[in-house]
Amino acid sequence: MSLPLAREDGIIQKINGQFSNNIKQTRIIRRSRPEITVGPEKIREVATFLRNELGFDHANGVSGVDYNREGRFEIVYHISSMDKKDLRDLVLALKESTPRTAPKVPSLVSVWPGVENFERETFEMFGILFEGHPHLEKLFLTDNWDGPPPLRKDIRFPTD
Amino acid sequence: MSAQKPAQQDEDPLEMLAGGISVWVGKLNEIVRRVVDDTPIRNIINWGRIYSMWPVNITTACCSAEFGAASGARHDLERFGVLPLGSLRQSDLIVVEGTITKKMAKRLRMIYDQMAVPRYVIAMGDCAISGGLFHDSYSIVNGAHEFLPVDVYVPGCPPRPEALEQAIIMLQEKIRHSKVYSQG
Amino acid sequence: MTVPEKPLPVVAMEAAQAAQSGPQTLTVSVGPQHSGSGHMRLIVELDGDVIVNASPDPGYVHRGIEKICELRNIIKNIPVIERPAIIDSSNLNHAYINAIEELQGVDPPIRAKYLRSLLNEMNRIMSHLYWLSIFGVFLGHTTMFMWPLGDRELFIDLAEQLTGARITHSYIVPGGVRRDLPPGFAEEAVKRTEYFEKRLGEYDKIFFNNPLFTSRSKGVGILPRQDAIALGCTGPTLRGSGVDVDLRKDEPYGAYAKLDFDVPTRKECDSYSRAYVRMDEMRESCKLIRQIVKDIPAGPIRRKAPIVLPRGEAYGRVESARGECSFYLIGEGGDKPYRARFITGSYRNMAAIPVLLRGGHLADMPTAWWSVDYWPVEADR
């Protein structure tokens, strides 16, 4: 099992080597899907390291997940690389958690400019504030929905 | 039509003339309407309306793919006179294609209000009839009839282009048998 | 929330008043009722005729699909997630099923993989032809509106013979596909793709070599290579800027590992190169369709898969006509997803639209932004 996952192990070791105490958890779901969890206060440094040293030059997407039974929101950045041909199929999930009552995390627009629209959408769907985001306002819901952020688990709809 | 002048107003001859003309024009309007609607002139006017129904350049959601295919080479809507040319004021038809979000509903109503009379509405697709596949979504309006007076409903998800052609033919039948001034 | 929400201007008058306090630019809403805009609005700030800033105002077709996916079971979600890019529906379907099968641990039979790739390539051609016809009508070339839509009907007939539906196939299910090839399909497919390749030569003559088109699209809407990568662009938008990323080669799924094809790229980074990449992709798709119907192995088309989404996470992705479509599915053991995060190619390319349009003329706007093939329904989901 270790030989086919040598590439993913190598990446995780380099990250652990740089940020030894600040990585909360690492996991390899399967080949090409490693995952690391950091705290919100360190995520900008980790992201800059990933971009500059390991070559992850763009983000595929940003997802917010509402773990309401655990009282937290989780924000997952899926990042990948285009310039490094051997990393093109690898998608690294960079996760961070923030408490559900006062959700606030730093924005990574300065690291990967493509996450701007994704972070705006996560803000309007979950109510998570991204500090340092240039235009943190509604993207899709401007005239569509006036209530609380709709993708939270406590917002129920008639057929539920 | 004839204004009741209050007793204390001065008898201005120009105003009396204007009042008289407005009464005369109003009566002429009634005569024209009666003549047009009860004689073969109605058929000529309706014939003109039926064979040049121009829809507005607005697409609502995914049924627009089948509207595009219907305007294309194999199912050609132009042979019915349906061409998306011209501006809002020159269009007669809104085809509400697909799911209507609240954001788009506001604009659709604005567009409908700006169109010149007579104007017709075709609700295309299940989503425009009742919300369809997305009926339990938080951001949609369940059906075009909530804010527009619909003339023809076309079921389907999406309706085939042949169904849209049948809808146009049904609308043409409806107009052929309706009065010229039914919408004002 | 303490962040104040700035309402976006509804009509151009309000927008002009909003902009009057700053530098003297005119704000124009190229809005949903426009013959060159599609179902979205672009708020364009003009200095004379030059675009200073253009920001898309999406959300006119936002139906809350991610919330709907949490309310329905995984099979009932298939028609829902197909609808965003309805002209390219089987690619989105395939991305969803990739994620589900990864969680369930189901591997479909090899014949099913070939059939999935066959439908994917037909959908790629159908989507590119629809894009091409709307490109024609945006620029006023009505012959280019009619011809691709007519040729598209050839492939819609094939898709209807295979799956029963014109564009919303719902053909790919967990464990395999729903129907097998009907008799006579292979000969029909070969005949039609050979005819279509001749037609592509005729499109070159009337449109791509037409000086009226080349003067409007060469050098217009430049997206530099580094910007395209940093913004996360994907699909032909990225390949028109010289980056040869294609998931069918980088992370093969379906039957692509066994098939022989090229990934067309161009280096000029302008609207013409993005448009021509799609023409070359259609040629490659015809080659792929012929290979598939010739080499398809015999066997079953469907393996039994439970209607249950086990606990875990999966990230399934697919190269759709507009770029990479990806599903991040989190299951919790029931038959409904806990979270179905859905990102499409157009949503990622939306970040490139302001960069493309800045500095250009307003008259170049339809060429530049439609060459990105931004399909608003797909971006809004």
Question: What are the pLDDT tens digits along chain B (184 aa)?
Answer: 445 555 545 678 888 888 888 888 888 888 887 777 767 788 888 888 899 889 988 888 888 889 989 988 889 888 998 887 778 888 889 999 889 999 889 889 999 999 988 899 999 999 999 988 888 888 888 889 999 999 999 999 889 999 999 999 999 999 988 888 877 6
B83 & B16 share domain? no
List the single residue in A127, A129, A159 with the smallest CB-CB distance to C71.
Answer: A159
C79 to chain B, closest Cα gap in Å: 8
Q: Does A77 touch chain C (CB under 8 A)?
A: no
Q: How confident is the model at residue C59 (pLDDT cuts 50, 70, 90)?
A: confident
Q: Does A13 touch chain C (CB under 8 A)?
A: no
Query: C60 and B138 in contact by Cβ < 8 A?
Result: no
B9 & B31 share domain? yes
Q: Does B88 touch chain C (CB under 8 A)?
A: yes
In a domain, B150, yes or no: yes
- Model confidence at A1: pLDDT above 50: no
ipTM reported for the complex, 2 dp: 0.90
B16 & B70 share domain? no
- Model confidence at C359: pLDDT above 90: no
Task: Tell me if B139 sits within 8 A of C58, measured CB to CB.
Answer: no
Query: B140 and C63 in contact by Cβ < 8 A?
Result: yes
In a domain, B46, yes or no: no
CA distance A130 to A110: 12
- How does pLDDT run across A75-132, given as a tens digit for each residue? 999 999 988 888 888 899 999 999 988 889 999 999 999 899 999 999 999 999 999 8
Alpha helices in B6-137 (DSSP H): 13-38, 41-50, 64-71, 102-114, 126-130
In a domain, B119, yes or no: yes
pLDDT for the residue A87: 85
- How does pLDDT run across B50-94, given as a tens digit for each residue? 998 899 888 888 888 899 899 888 898 889 988 877 788 888 899
In a domain, C355, yes or no: yes
B170 & B114 share domain? yes
Q: Which residues of B touch A144 (CB under 8 A)?
A: 101-103, 138-139
**Separation of CA C150 from chain center:** 20
Q: In this structure, which amino acid lies at residue C182?
A: P
Q: Which residues of A touch B139 (CB under 8 A)?
A: 141, 144-145, 150
Residue C340: give the domain boundaries.
65-375
Whole-prediction pTM value? 0.89
Percent of chain C at pLDDT > 90 equals 51
B106 to chain A, closest Cα gap in Å: 9
A20 to chain C, closest Cα gap in Å: 26
Write down all domains in chain A, each with its CATH number in brackets.
Answer: 6-131 (3.30.460.80)
CA distance A25 to C29: 47
CA distance A131 to C111: 50
B151 & B97 share domain? yes
List the single residue in A143, A158, A159 with the smallest CB-CB distance to B102.
Answer: A143
The lowest-confidence range among A15-29, A119-133, C124-138, C269-283 is: A15-29
In a domain, C98, yes or no: yes
Cβ atoms within 10 Å of A37's Cβ, excluding its own = 17
B32 & B68 share domain? no
B59 & B34 share domain? no
Q: Does A117 touch chain C (CB under 8 A)?
A: yes
CATH code of the domain containing C142:
1.10.645.10
CA distance C189 to C197: 12
**Separation of CA A33 from chain center:** 14
pLDDT for the residue C138: 87
B27 & B57 share domain? no
Based on the structure, what is the number of domains in chain B? 2
List the single residue in A144, A147, A157 with the smallest CB-CB distance to B103.
Answer: A144
CA distance B51 to B53: 6
Q: Are strands B93-97 and A92-99 parallel, antiparallel or unpaired?
A: unpaired
In a domain, C360, yes or no: yes
CA distances from C19 to A108, C6, C28 (A): 29, 13, 11
CA distance C46 to C133: 29
Q: How confident is the model at residue C334 (pLDDT cuts 50, 70, 90)?
A: confident
B20 & B78 share domain? no
Q: Are strands C323-331 and C339-343 parallel, antiparallel or unpaired?
A: antiparallel
Task: Tell me if A120 sits within 8 A of A127, measured CB to CB.
Answer: no
Q: Which helix (H) or strand (E) holds A131?
A: strand A129-131
- Give the residue on B whose Cα is nearest the Cα of C36: B57
Which residues, in sequence order, are bridge partners of residue B121? B94
In a domain, B139, yes or no: yes
Query: B72 and C68 in contact by Cβ < 8 A?
Result: no
Nearby residues of B20 by Cβ (< 8 Å), 6 or more positions away:
none
B86 & B22 share domain? no
CATH code of the domain containing B74:
3.40.50.12280
More confident residue, B179 or C233: C233
- Model confidence at A47: pLDDT above 70: yes
Name the burial class of residue C26, with classes exposed (0-12), middle (13-18) and buried (19+) by CB atoms within 10 angstroms of its CB: middle
**Ramachandran angles phi, psi of B73, nearest 5°:** -75, -40
Q: In this structure, which amino acid lies at residue C196?
A: F
Based on the structure, what is the number of domains in chain C? 1
The lowest-confidence range among B7-21, B135-149, C92-106, C343-357 is: B7-21
Q: How confident is the model at residue C1 (pLDDT cuts 50, 70, 90)?
A: very low
In a domain, C6, yes or no: no
Task: Tell me if A35 sits within 8 A of A28, measured CB to CB.
Answer: yes
B36 to chain A, closest Cα gap in Å: 44
Q: Does B138 touch chain A (CB under 8 A)?
A: yes
Q: Which residues of C touch B56 (CB under 8 A)?
A: 33
B28 & B117 share domain? no
B135 to chain A, closest Cα gap in Å: 9
Residue B93: give the domain boundaries.
53-176
Residues of B (151-170) whose Cβ lies below 8 Å from C:
157-158, 160
Q: Taking residues C44-73, report their average pLDDT.
A: 89
In a domain, B25, yes or no: yes
Mutation choice for B interface testing from A145, A151, A156 by most B CBs within 10 A: A145
pLDDT for the residue A159: 56
B106 & B170 share domain? yes
- Model confidence at A152: pLDDT above 80: yes
The per-residue pLDDT of chain A, averaged, comes to 87
In a domain, B184, yes or no: no
